[in-house]
Amino acid sequence: MKENLKMDKINLKNDRTITLLEEVKLQAEIVIPIYTKLKELYGIEQATTIIRNAIAEWYNDRYVKMASSIEGSAYEKWAAMMSDLSSKGGGGVVEVEWIENTPSKVVINVTKCKYAEHFKMINQPELGTFICCDVDRHIAKAAGITSKTEVEIKRTKTIMEGAASCDLCCLFK
């Protein structure tokens, strides 16, 4: 006769904290086979659209909820969410040169990115763009939506796409 498992006797809680880089690597492990299968079934263009849109929806929902809980202007919400993200990075994951940082405009230059290093190493830089680089857009969009402010993002290059550095300009209007 089978005996029922008593769930209160099993510790299902994982007390280990992982860095954001480790989390992103795990996300990639899950998404890569799905992305590969979608490319086989529908071709690269449609698979890319499906994956990029699904990831964007997930991030947008996540960051709109987060931004809704933060008081302040779009700039203050953006800064708080970026600070939170940075604190989870694990240190030295992204090196940033601040060019301008005002409530109406932020300009940064990313000079080192371990996310890009990882996605290039596993030959998935396009997927790395969806999972990592696009996060800046989702955070800015959420900050703008929840503060009823237009936020414009400009980016012309990324390390993920092969450039020596990433540029990012956020205009809070």
User: CB 146: neighbour CB atoms within 10 A?
Assistant: 19
Hey, where are the domains in the chain? Answer: 19-172
What is the per-residue pLDDT across 118-172, written as a single tens digit (0 to 9) for each? Answer: 999 999 999 999 999 999 999 999 999 988 999 999 999 999 999 999 999 999 9
β-strand pairing of 105-113 with 166-172:
antiparallel
Q: What is the 3-state secondary structure (H, E, C) of 44-109?
A: HHHHHHHHHHHHHHHHHHHHHHHHHCCCCCHHHHHHHHHHHHHHCCCCCCEEEEEEEECCCEEEEE
CA–CA dist 10, 125 (Å, integer)? 40
Q: Could you tell me the pLDDT band of residue 16, with boundaries at 50, 70 and 90? A: low
| CATH classification (class only), 19-172 | alpha beta
Q: Which residue has the higher pLDDT, 11 or 172?
A: 172
H or E element that contains 162 = none
For residue 150, give both structure tokens. Answer: 């237009």
